[in-house]
Amino acid sequence: MNFKAITMNDIARALDLSASTVSKALSNSYEISEKTKKLVLDYAEANNYKPNLIAQSLKQGHSNSIGIVVANIDNHFFSQVINGIESIAYQEGYNVIFTQTHESYELEVKNVNHLAHRSVDGLLISLSTETNNIDHLQKLQRQGLPIVFFDRVSDDMETHKVIVDNFKGAYEATTHLIKAGYKNIAHITAANTSVTRERLSGYEQALTDNGINVNQQYIKYCQHAGKDTAEIKGILDELLTNAVSPDALFTAFDRITTVTLGLLHQLKIKIPQHIALLGFTNTVLADVLNPSLSTVYQPGFEMGQEATKMLISLIKTKRLVTEFETIVLPTQLFLRNSTLRK
């Protein structure tokens, strides 16, 4: 059982023409007579001819498709980014292939290489939490593959990037908690990404600016951005048995935020009476959670759009690009019941 579609040679043979004539007719070349064009087009139509895109790609050296690498698609933020990417890509005639790293460095390398050597014309990537080393990307960039970073970026490569103002988003969130009367604000975040560092400094700066000492015992890292519920459970246990248990949590990643909410429920901890909760998440359910959840929202759709526009411009440029841009989008703070004034 093997997929066999009709080819140009089949058409050529059937109509007693040459393959090159058929090719030209199909692409509406001025060299071909109207009569022949019609003949070919009608036959192709009638026999459901579709060009073999693999052969086209091999011949042309490009494929009109772009590759996407994200941590997980079952994440509100990333799925919004993907929708933004698609919206621009389709409009510009590009197809989109996406892959998940599941926060694994190994899978990231594998997927990146697979995409590159399946001849995507460019790559859009948000690094996995495990990734420290971007050799795999640098090699491809040196070979001429256009790469644009979004969300979790690396300083080790010069290219276009799209991020949100993580520092400001975290600063505003933390400041809100302080103004609402919370004093002992813990921070749960993912290990090792650019996003981690920026949000952490926003958190620390807000504390400092309000005369609160940064307590290292209140800063907790998850290895895989919240995929491991047990790990977050352990972190909460540590925080809650601390000499001074925190009265608010500021969570920095989508999955960490929602998992934390679930765990606090299981522990029968009242929000915000016992502990307030505010986190980065793009869930559309924030309003209908119990309690409704104060969130830092990231413009995922717009991020996808901007990154894609930049990538396509890189793809289309013939000359070497050496001037790169980093777009910084604003976050939005939505205040709901999980951070009601103390």
Partner DNA sequence: ATGAAAGCGCTAACAG
Partner DNA sequence: CTGTTAGCGCTTTCAT
Residue 3 touching DNA (CB under 7 A): no
Contact with a copy of itself (CB under 8 A) among 21, 128, 196, 283? 283
Minimum Å distance from CB 162 to a copy of itself?
A: 19
Contact with a copy of itself (CB under 8 A) among 13, 27, 29, 54? 54
Span interacting with a copy of itself, options 23-31, 144-152, 173-181, 215-223, rule CB under 8 A: 144-152
Sign of CA dihedral 175, 172, 161, 150: positive
Residue 56 touching DNA (CB under 7 A): yes
Residue 135 touching DNA (CB under 7 A): no
Q: Are 184 and 245 spatial neighbours (Cβ–Cβ below 8 Å)?
A: yes
Residue 113 touching DNA (CB under 7 A): no
Token output for 321: 């690009």
Residue 47 touching DNA (CB under 7 A): no
Say how far apart CA 186 and CA 276 lie, in whole Å.
Answer: 10
Backbone angles phi, psi at 32, to 5 degrees: -100, 140
Q: Are 121 and 62 spatial neighbours (Cβ–Cβ below 8 Å)?
A: yes
Say how far apart CA 51 and CA 23 lie, in whole Å.
Answer: 10
CA dihedral 226, 164, 295, 88 (to 10 degrees): -90
Q: Are 317 and 151 spatial neighbours (Cβ–Cβ below 8 Å)?
A: no
Minimum Å distance from CB 18 to DNA?
A: 3
Q: Which does 143 bind (CB under 5 to 8 A by kind): DNA, a copy of itself, none?
A: a copy of itself
Helix (H), strand (E), coil (C) string for 113-158: HHHHHCCCCEEEECCCCCCCCCHHHHHHHHCCCCEEEECCCCCCCC
Residue 270 touching a copy of itself (CB under 8 A): no
Contact with DNA (CB under 7 A) among 38, 47, 55, 328? 55
Span interacting with DNA, options 1-9, 155-163, 170-178, 249-257, rule CB under 7 A: 1-9
Give residues in contact with a copy of itself (CB under 8 A).
Answer: 1-5, 48, 50-55, 57-58, 61-63, 72-74, 76, 79-80, 82-83, 86, 95-100, 113-114, 116-119, 121, 139-140, 143-146, 258, 261-262, 265, 283-285, 287-292, 314-315, 317-321
